[in-house]
Amino acid sequence: MDAVVKQKVDTWLNGNYDNATKNEIQRLQKENETELVESFYQSLEFGTGGLRGLMGVGTNRMNKYTVGSATQGFANYLKKTYGDAEIKVAIAHDSRNNSRFFAETTANVFAANGIKVFLFEALRPTPELSFAIRTLKCNGGVVVTASHNPKEYNGYKAYWNDGGQLVPPHDKNVIKEVEAIKSVDDVKFSGGETNITIIGKDMDEAYIKMVKSLSVYPDVIAKQHDLKIVYTPIHGTGIMLVPKVLSTFGFDNVTIVAEQEKPDGNFPTVVYPNPEESETMSIGLKKANEINADILLGTDPDADRVGIAIKNHKGEWVLMNGNQTAILAISYMLEARKAKGIAQSNDMVIKTIVTTDMIDVLAAKNNVACYNVLTGFKWIAELIKEKEGRENYIIGGEESFGMMIGDKLRDKDAVSAVAFLCEMAAYEKNKNISLYDKLIDLYIQYGFYYEELISITKKGMSGQQEIAEMMQSYRNNPPTHINNSPVLELLDYQTQEGKNLKSGETWKIELPKSNVLQFKLEDGTKISARPSGTEPKIKFYFSVHDHLESKEKFDGMLAAHKQKIENIIADMKLK
């Protein structure tokens, strides 16, 4: 065993840790040294989504002590930042195993440090936490969730006073404070319980009122109140608010997928509680087909991602990818605001660099500013803050099924997105247009863009190294051709440099550093490579586009572009 790992193990065995933790370490020493090394070889770090990892003992696992250390570090940073002023934080959690325990641990540590804590009475969606931070004028916040990861995971998302997740310099500074904690004895686990206030229904009502204010066409909903909606919370927090929000909007024909209605951290009906996965949505699809629904929607465990399924032009149920959902939603928002006469000259939309470029085209042709930021909604939140008072944020999204409507909170919000997407479906149905036909119309109007994503999982220490080597290889030896098309540009967001590979011309990328590479090909294809900040994966994003002349040519073009992406994947030897 590595000496550093052994020292960490010994520290836990001899330190002020509970007996159950020590007994589990001793069991791993006897039965599974590989797992023991994996549990201690590094410390969990903040990535694009905060702290996230497998639950278990050790510095590289989610447990009372890693959560406690993270919270103590965050508390220390808040106190250094705000001095003697009163400091307030809000805390929420999802339906995962141990989430309530970790949330209470977090609350107790903050409270023991003299910080006023607003702790939700039970599980709540992540977006409500962001809303609560802003409503209660908190200095920060935490939600305990591992989003859409498998049941073995949990996580900890840290927020700043704007309701957005931590961005530089705060994220790095919190990490420094966490790393400065050399002993578990530095963590205050108890002693300030009177600083904790339980919140719940009043915040729910304020949040629901805010979401209702996002409706653009309540009169259309009144006409289409019986829109057949099927909704699945996938055993998560969405059940707490989505049905209430849909009812408040005026929809009265909502079917909840019974098998996935109850919050359950074991996610018994799915492998991945992720609405991006067709297997996860399969029970909902079956129900939607049974009752001949108009739309199916699903939210992940912390209700910040939304997946939708609609019938295509052949009457078959299909799952929309995140890009298609964003295209439909943003198009509806721009069209509806213009028709209602509420569009403003300084309206803006925001997307991430790996989200479809069709949104840029759509916004430009509607005279609305569109900004691109790094992956992660914290960057969307940061740009809104930067432009507050000068430009009016109306909607934004990312390809990974995230959407945020309006600026009353600062994280992706599947609860409001479900209601908004149902309003959009009602709006089109009122004109006797299906959402799928609307999507094809948009492709004809703005160009046909098609995107796919593949994730390659590389677990453990060796996996991390493999991902780093793969990225370094692309940096040092970028391909000259991919699928027989010349690579024209390489954009390296880590070095913040763009380069024309033919002319050698370079330019500065005006975004923060991020480990992302993008290849732009002569035929218009865009390929992005990015290690995940929250999972042991490297992700490849593929975008191809063409001109679509008519609906009759859609099926052929879709098949051709799917094949083109398969050819690119094969040429890059990614499968």
Residue with tokens 């951290």: 265
Q: What local confidence, expressed as pLDDT, does residue 121 receive? A: 98
User: Is the overall model pTM greater than 0.85, yes or no?
Assistant: yes
Find out whether the peptide bond into 512 is cis, omega within 30 degrees of 0.
no
Q: What CATH number was assigned to the domain covering residues 449-571?
A: 3.30.310
SS3 144: strand
Q: Which of 314, 316, 284 is nearest to 299 (CA)?
A: 284
CA dihedral 206, 125, 451, 443 (to 10 degrees): -30
- Residues 526, 561: contact at Cβ < 8 Å? no
Token pair, residue 226, equals 């019986």
Q: Which of 541, 544, 542, 540 is nearest to 524 (CA)?
A: 544
Amino acid at 42: Q
Q: What local confidence, expressed as pLDDT, does residue 575 receive? A: 83
Q: What local confidence, expressed as pLDDT, does residue 49 receive? A: 58
SS3 340: helix
Beta bridge mates, 537: 457
Q: What CATH number was assigned to the domain covering residues 224-446?
A: 3.40.120.10
Q: What local confidence, expressed as pLDDT, does residue 463 receive? A: 83
Token pair, residue 209, equals 């009122």
124 exposure class (CB count in 10 Å sphere: 0-12, 13-18, 19+): buried
Phi-psi sector, 340: left (phi>0), alpha (psi -120 to 50), beta: alpha
Q: What local confidence, expressed as pLDDT, does residue 179 receive? A: 85
Average pLDDT by consecutive 10-residue portion of the chain (575 residues)? 92 96 96 94 72 94 95 96 97 98 98 98 98 98 94 96 93 87 94 97 98 97 98 98 98 98 98 94 98 98 97 95 97 96 97 97 97 94 96 96 96 98 97 96 97 88 85 93 96 96 95 95 96 82 97 97 97 92
Q: What local confidence, expressed as pLDDT, does residue 46 receive? A: 64
- Residues 57, 21: contact at Cβ < 8 Å? yes
Q: Which residues contact 563 (CB under 8 A, 6 or more apart)?
A: none
- d(C-alpha 320, C-alpha 398), whole Å: 13
Q: Which of 22, 46, 50 is nearest to 146 (CA)?
A: 50
Q: What local confidence, expressed as pLDDT, does residue 490 receive? A: 97
CATH topology identical between 224-446 and 449-571: no
User: On the CB side of 493, how many CA atoms lie within 13 Å of its CA?
Assistant: 20
Token pair, residue 380, equals 């969307």
Q: What local confidence, expressed as pLDDT, does residue 534 receive? A: 63
Q: What local confidence, expressed as pLDDT, does residue 453 receive? A: 94
- Residues 494, 529: contact at Cβ < 8 Å? no
- d(C-alpha 189, C-alpha 102), whole Å: 12
Angle among Cα 131, 322, 225 to the nearest 5 degrees reads: 65
Q: What CATH number was assigned to the domain covering residues 64-205?
A: 3.40.120.10
- d(C-alpha 352, C-alpha 364), whole Å: 16
Q: Which of 60, 232, 266 is nearest to 151 (CA)?
A: 266
- Residues 561, 554: contact at Cβ < 8 Å? no
Token pair, residue 264, equals 């359950």
> What separation, in Å, do the N-terminal and C-terminal C-alpha atoms of the chain show?
34
Element (H, E) at 133: helix 126-135
Active centre residues (catalytic): 147
Token pair, residue 455, equals 């994730």
For the chain, domain boundaries: 64-205, 224-446, 449-571
- Residues 560, 544: contact at Cβ < 8 Å? no
